[in-house]
């Protein structure tokens, strides 16, 4: 098990407060993402992953994700069971849409 | 001295005379078949052992393995698929020496080993149509060993739903004084229909067990992932709807199965019924059942059949090509021709793609061959009829260039940026090149050449290669959908954003696709059981696909 943590400064208004949202499942090749309110002006992503040695790719995924979505003031906790970046990106995107959907 | 013009015919008569004592008319007992083959087959013969993608002349393959290798040796096999262990055992025993073939899926690793040990000489690896073509030019079989469902006393053959390539092989062999031997599952007084006339057939044997058939095209919807649904949504909205793709062929992967399964849901919502996906060159995929039932699919011509689909196909003669007996009539040669010339689009999965867009399924330790994908996945340069999809693709490819208007086929490659075990699908150099070097081949086994590819679809988006001008733009477009692979991360971000502005690279959000929707919930059937329900109980899946 490897633990990774990234914090990205994000411009733009903070995401509205909403109840935490959970998407995905912890199953082989998949992952679970919990999104909840965090610190203003930044996006924090904490990852627990079963696959070691992919920190560089995780970081790139997280930075692109933060650039493409309104994630200021959100905190993500990821439980990963060896998902590919395709699945990670999809689940992170779904988590944001799910969280923001609840605020609309 | 006058020249003789019938040496092959005389030789054929001599072989038939040697074999006559072993047969009763055309019928031979199963136990006599190895002796029959020793009498009929001569060293160095070109021999076609019917090995289709699905149906296998497995009894005759086993019998050929049992001949005296001192009498029957150095055969040159000309056959489409090396599928059974017996096919390679023939080389290990010295019965065969050389092979010209198309596909070797299940035997790919063992084949590579035998080739590198110098025990198999490969003439060439072909596409299906290419190999059938050579049956009628310079690789005509001297002897053909076929598989059929039934024969009557006279030796007429009924091939049932899995006709596949039997007629093509029989025609090439019989009309050039070759010898045709068929294994059949049963002998009948009266055949449901005649697929191959007795005049083309020399010997028939009732095999102790029915010919092996693989359910190669059954994809369990339970295994389709959300990412595959996302890619399917991009294809349906960004390609099928935009070009109005009404005549097409699908590969056999889970990602194209996902497309079939979202037509009745997502496709319906986009208002596409009656506008796209009407006519198909396709095996009877069980995952097509919901789209047929929902009224998308108007016709399907098949290369072969699919186990369990017999009853469903027979009950839908308006959709499938069926005989007077009601069962499917498949024909690989004709369906490949349809896929090449009559379809506007081919879509399939691949394992590796480089920056030129060349793709391949070969790796250094596996010789997989091609099958039919290169024929479907290639622009048909000889096509001379227009359709809206074909014309639009042609306009996009040509721009405002000079010359007469000309269309283009849509050839779409689907691939997730990483395969299992984080193996990148996008590479600087295909493994196919290393394999070609290791084997000393003139040609790397490229499945689909980049200049035939119109679109590359990954979870990151669609790259439209038709609109690219020049190799550098093309490479950036491919990098632009290559995700976090080293190739993808090597992109020039500004160049990719520029391509995005021009609609060459399109993300899900550019297509108006909500990622939240990309879920298995969008599949019209999420399990094999639900496919059975859609079929009204007519689809009878093989036991391995039944969990209830």
Quick one: pLDDT at residue B106? 86
On average, the pLDDT of chain B sits at: 96
Would residue B78 count as lying in a domain? Answer: yes
Of chain A residues 28-47, which have a CB less than 8 A from chain B?
29
Residues B250-271, mean pLDDT to the nearest whole number: 97
B255 shares contact with chain A (CB less than 8 Å): no
pLDDT > 90? residue B362? no
Q: Is residue B89 over pLDDT 60?
A: yes
Q: Are residues B476 and B340 in the same domain?
A: yes
**Model confidence at B154, in pLDDT bands (50, 70, 90)?**
very high
Domain match, B352 and B375 both: yes
Provide the pairing of β-strand B505-506 with B410-414.
unpaired
Report ipTM for this prediction: 0.91
CATH of the domain at B92: 3.40.1080.10
How many Å apart are CA A37 and CA A16, to the nearest integer?
8
In a domain, B546, yes or no: no
Q: What is the average per-residue pLDDT within B83-95?
A: 96
pTM metric for this prediction: 0.95
Residues 6+ apart with CB under 8 A from B321: B300, B301, B302, B328, B329, B330
Q: Would you say residue A66 has pLDDT above 70?
A: yes
The pLDDT-based confidence of B309 (bands split at 50, 70, 90) is very high
**Residue B515: both structure tokens together:** 């990622």
Q: Does residue B4 surpass a pLDDT of 60?
A: yes
For B513-539, the pLDDT digits (tens) are 988 899 999 999 999 999 999 999 999
Chain-chain contact of B227 with A87 (C-beta, under 8 angstroms):
yes
**Same-domain pairing of B141 and B263:** no
| B191 lies in the same domain as B225 | no
State which of B160, B190, B213 marks the end of a domain. Answer: B213
What tens digit of pLDDT does each residue of B434-465 get? Answer: 999 988 899 999 999 999 999 999 999 999 99
Per the CB < 8 A criterion, the answer to whether B45 and B142 are in contact is yes
B310 and B450 inside one domain: yes
Instruction: Give the confidence band of B400 by pLDDT, cuts at 50, 70, 90.
Output: confident
Residues B178, B77, single domain; the answer is yes
- Same-domain check for residues B44 and B176: yes
Which stretch of DSSP H or E encloses residue B289?
Answer: helix B289-293
DSSP B428: S
Flag whether B10 is in a domain.
Answer: no
Contact B226 A90 (CB under 8 A): yes
pLDDT of residue B51: 87
Q: Which of B213, B234, B254 is at the close of a domain?
A: B213
Residue B284 lies in a domain: yes
B418-450 burial code (b ≥16 CB/10 A, e <16): beeeeebbbbeebbbbebbeebebeebbbbbbb
Complete domains list, chain A, with CATH: 2-103 (3.30.230)
Alpha helices in B66-197 (DSSP H): 85-92, 108-116, 128-135, 166-174
Q: What pLDDT score does B77 carry?
A: 98
Contact B341, B96 (CB under 8 A): no
Reply yes or no on whether the pLDDT at A104 is more than 60: no
Interchain CB contact of B233 with A (< 8 Å): no
Integer CA distances (angstroms), B199 to B139, B177, B195, B202, in order: 22, 12, 12, 8
Crossing angle between the packed helical segments B85-92 and B108-116, to the nearest 10 degrees: 10
B128 and B270 inside one domain: no
Q: How many CB atoms lie within 10 A of CB A29?
A: 13
Percent of chain B past pLDDT 70, that is, above it, reads: 100
Say yes or no: B405 and B442 in one domain.
yes
Residue B548 falls inside a structural domain: no
**Percent of chain A topping pLDDT 70:** 97
Average pLDDT over residues B155-173: 97
Dihedral sign, Cα of residue B390, residue B391, residue B396, residue B402: positive
Domain total of chain B: 2
Residues 6 or more apart whose CB falls under 8 angstroms from that of B117 comprise none
* pLDDT, position A103: 61
pLDDT confidence of residue A102: 65
What pLDDT score was predicted for residue B340? 98
CB spacing of B516 vs A98 below 8 angstroms? yes
Which range marks the domain in which residue B444 is found? 221-529
Is there a single domain that holds both residue B255 and residue B131? Answer: no
Residues B269 and B189 both lie in one domain: no
Both B381 and B346 in a single domain? yes
The pLDDT assigned to B536 comes to 98
Q: What are phi and psi of B512, to 5 degrees?
A: 70, 30
Tell me the chain B residues in contact with residue A99 when contact means C-beta distances shorter than 8 Å: none
């Amino acid at each position: 098990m490897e633990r990774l943590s990234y914090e990205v400064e994000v411009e733009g208004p903070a995401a509205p407060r909403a109840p935490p949202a959970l998407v995905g499942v912890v199953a082989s090749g998949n992952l679970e993402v919990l999104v909840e309110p965090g610190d203003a002006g930044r996006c924090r992503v904490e990852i627990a992953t079963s696959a070691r040695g992919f920190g560089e790719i995780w970081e790139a995924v997280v930075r692109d994700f933060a650039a493409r979505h309104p994630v200021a003031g959100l905190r993500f906790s990821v439980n990963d069971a060896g998902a590919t970046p395709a699945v990670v990106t999809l689940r992170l995107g779904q988590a944001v849409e799910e969280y923001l959907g609840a605020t609309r | 001295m006058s020249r003789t013009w019938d040496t092959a015919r005389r030789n054929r008569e001599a072989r038939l005379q040697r074999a006559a004592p072993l047969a009763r008319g055309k019928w031979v007992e199963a136990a006599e078949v190895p002796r029959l083959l020793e009498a009929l087959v001569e060293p160095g013969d070109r021999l076609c052992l019917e090995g289709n993608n699905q149906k296998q002349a497995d009894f005759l393959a086993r019998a050929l393995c049992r001949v005296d290798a001192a009498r029957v040796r150095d055969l040159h096999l000309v056959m489409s698929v090396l599928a059974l262990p017996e096919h390679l055992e023939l080389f290990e025993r010295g019965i065969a020496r050389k092979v010209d073939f198309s596909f070797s899926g299940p035997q790919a690793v063992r084949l590579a080993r035998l080739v590198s040990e110098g025990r198999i000489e490969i003439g060439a690896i072909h596409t299906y149509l290419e190999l059938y073509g050579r049956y009628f030019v310079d690789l005509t079989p001297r002897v053909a060993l076929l598989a059929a469902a039934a024969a009557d006393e006279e030796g007429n053959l009924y091939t049932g739903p899995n006709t596949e390539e039997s007629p093509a092989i029989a025609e090439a062999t019989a009309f050039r004084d070759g010898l045709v031997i068929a294994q059949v599952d049963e002998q009948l007084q009266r055949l449901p229909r005649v697929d191959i006339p007795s005049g083309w057939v020399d010997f028939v044997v009732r095999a102790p067990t029915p010919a092996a058939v693989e359910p190669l095209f059954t994809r369990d919807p339970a295994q389709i992932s959300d990412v595959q649904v996302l890619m399917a949504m991009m294809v349906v909205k960004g390609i099928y709807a935009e070009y109005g793709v009404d005549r097409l062929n699908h590969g056999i992967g889970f990602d194209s199965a996902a497309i079939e399964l979202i037509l009745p849901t997502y496709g319906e919502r986009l208002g596409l019924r009656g506008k796209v996906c009407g006519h198909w060159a396709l095996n009877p995929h069980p995952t097509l059942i919901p789209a047929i039932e929902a009224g998308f699919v108007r016709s399907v011509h098949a290369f072969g059949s699919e186990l369990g689909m017999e009853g469903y196909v027979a009950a839908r003669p308006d959709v499938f090509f069926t005989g007077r007996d009601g069962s499917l009539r498949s024909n690989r040669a004709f369906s490949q021709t349809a896929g090449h010339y009559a379809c506007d689009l081919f879509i399939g999965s691949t394992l590796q793609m480089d920056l030129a867009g060349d793709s391949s399924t070969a790796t250094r330790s596996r010789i997989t061959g091609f099958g039919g994908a290169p024929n479907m996945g290639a622009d048909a340069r000889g096509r001379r009829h227009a359709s809206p999809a074909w014309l639009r693709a042609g306009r996009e490819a040509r721009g405002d260039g000079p010359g007469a208007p000309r269309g283009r086929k849509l050839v779409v490659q689907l691939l997730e940026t990483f395969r299992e075990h984080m193996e990148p699908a996008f590479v600087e150099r295909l493994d196919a090149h290393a394999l070609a070097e290791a084997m000393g081949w003139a040609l790397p086994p490229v499945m689909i050449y980049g200049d035939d590819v119109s679109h590359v679809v990954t979870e990151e988006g669609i790259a439209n290669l038709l609109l690219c001008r020049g190799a550098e733009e093309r490479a950036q477009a491919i990098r632009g959908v290559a995700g976090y692979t080293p190739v993808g991360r090597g992109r020039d971000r500004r160049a990719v954003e520029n391509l995005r502005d021009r609609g060459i690279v399109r993300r899900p959000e550019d297509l108006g696709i909500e990622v939240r929707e990309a879920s298995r919930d969008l599949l019209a059937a999420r399990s094999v059981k639900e496919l059975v329900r859609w079929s009204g109980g007519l689809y009878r899946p093989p036991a391995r696909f039944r969990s209830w």
